[in-house]
Amino acid sequence: MKGLCNYILFSLSALLACGQQAQTNNEQGLFAGHYDVNKPAKVFKMPKELDEISGITFHSKASNIIYAEQDEEGKAFACNLNDGSIRKTKFAGKGDYEDIQLLNNYIVMLRSDGVLYTFPFNDINAEASANTKEFKHILPGGEYEGLYADNKTSKLYVLCKNCAEKQDKTTTVYTLSMDNNGTVQSESNTTINVKSIAEKAGLKKLSFRPSAFTKTQDGNEWFILSSVNKLIVRTSADFTVKEVYNLDASVYNQPEGIALDAANNLYISNEKGTSQSATIVKIPYRKQG
């Protein structure tokens, strides 16, 4: 399927000229002090098969291949950003799949109802995986979109988009463990103070609907993305809110996935929505000083 994922690199200066001014509490106008989020360097155009792209992630040892899924079919995609080639693996039936991660040589998939799937990473080279495991009833009822894998601790983190708690007060992060056989178990949970997000955003009230999240390479901070709210939230490792940054709607039509590569460059995926195609936006890491 060579060339299916051919991408287009283009300047967004014309779009940004008419875009709304992003609000940030960072004096330099950079998210987390390193990312000029509303002025990305590259935009990769996705093929039609990935119009509904949601989550994205990288292998820790490679920054040229991005792994993704779309929220209609049980398929995982590996897209080479250098040459545009793509391969896909079927792991389950149709469903609303929202995020993808790599942990302990397994691919982990999150369905919107909180069901998790794991299959060996090496199966990404096959047309289908015969080794998929399904995990139900690990998470309470709700709508889930964010998944993150910490390979240093073998932990999975799942972020609830819409659960029992009032979304203008808190949102919950669930911590899970996964063994070397791809078996997932529940461990603990914590909450994020949505009132703090609203305060940082200069709002009296906010119904927060997070889409995805990722952790910095040093493990000290989280970046949380919300498509509905058009926000990125930066928190400490314990989810204390530090910064809220507005995303330009002319750049981010429907931002659903977020990931950092080995060089700390930031990537955000956009579903097609009302645009001509789905995209992955690359924001280079800028060193301070």
Q: What is the pLDDT of residues 158-178, one digit of tens each?
A: 999 998 878 789 999 999 999
> How far, in Å, CA of 276 to CA of 282, rounded?
18
Give me the mean pLDDT over the 233-250 stretch: 97
Q: At which residue do the structure tokens 């461990």 appear? A: 187
Q: Locate the domains of the chain by residue range.
A: 13-283
Residue 209 DSSP symbol: -
Q: What are phi and psi of 119, to 5 degrees?
A: -155, 155
Specify whether the CB–CB gap between 277 and 269 falls below 8 A: no
Residue 259 DSSP symbol: E
Give me the mean pLDDT over the 127-145 stretch: 96
Which of the residue ranges 90-94, 112-116, 163-167 would you say has the lowest mean pLDDT?
163-167
Q: Looking at residue 166, what is its pLDDT?
A: 80
User: Other CB atoms closer than 10 Å to residue 1's CB: what's the count?
Assistant: 12
pLDDT in tens, 62-80: 789 999 999 999 999 999 9
Q: Check if CATH label 1.10.3470 holds for domain 13-283.
A: no
